[in-house]
Amino acid sequence: MSTDRTIVHVMIQGRVQGVGYRAWVEDQATLNGLEGWVRNRQDGSVEAVFAGPAQDVADMVALCRKGPPASRVHQVIDEPATADQLGLRRAGEEFSVLSTV
């Protein structure tokens, strides 16, 4: 079993608010055993941080490019993230849905 762990910051643009995108991300991340958080941004995008085994995180980013049925994803920008970014999640939670920024 691989111990490689990665943290990725993702910005998702398109029709991703008002379509259940955050709840879908939370469900998918939880099902895949990932840590992190997701939140809406005032510019209409969705932002997330995922942490876990590198392949699982890569698979989650790929899922974000598709999104839930009602969404239309135009662009996903992913970049390495830090433990500080991961630390924005709520204390005691593996994966958090945060307030809009």
* Model confidence, pTM: 0.94
User: Quick one: pLDDT at residue 3?
Assistant: 60
User: Quick one: pLDDT at residue 1?
Assistant: 41
| CA angle (99 as vertex; 93, 85 as ends), nearest 5 | 60
CATH 3.40.50.2000 fits 17-91, yes or no: no
Indicate the domain borders of the chain. Answer: 17-91
**Dihedral sign, CA of 24, 40, 85, 48?**
positive
User: Quick one: pLDDT at residue 26?
Assistant: 98
Residues annotated as catalytic are 22, 40
- Consecutive sets of 10 residues in the chain, 101 residues long: mean pLDDT of each? 82 97 98 97 98 97 97 97 96 96 96
Alpha carbons 67 and 24: distance in angstroms, whole number = 8
Helix axes 21-31, 54-66, angle to 10 degrees: 150
Alpha carbons 51 and 74: distance in angstroms, whole number = 23
Closest by CA position to 11, among listed 59, 51, 61: 61
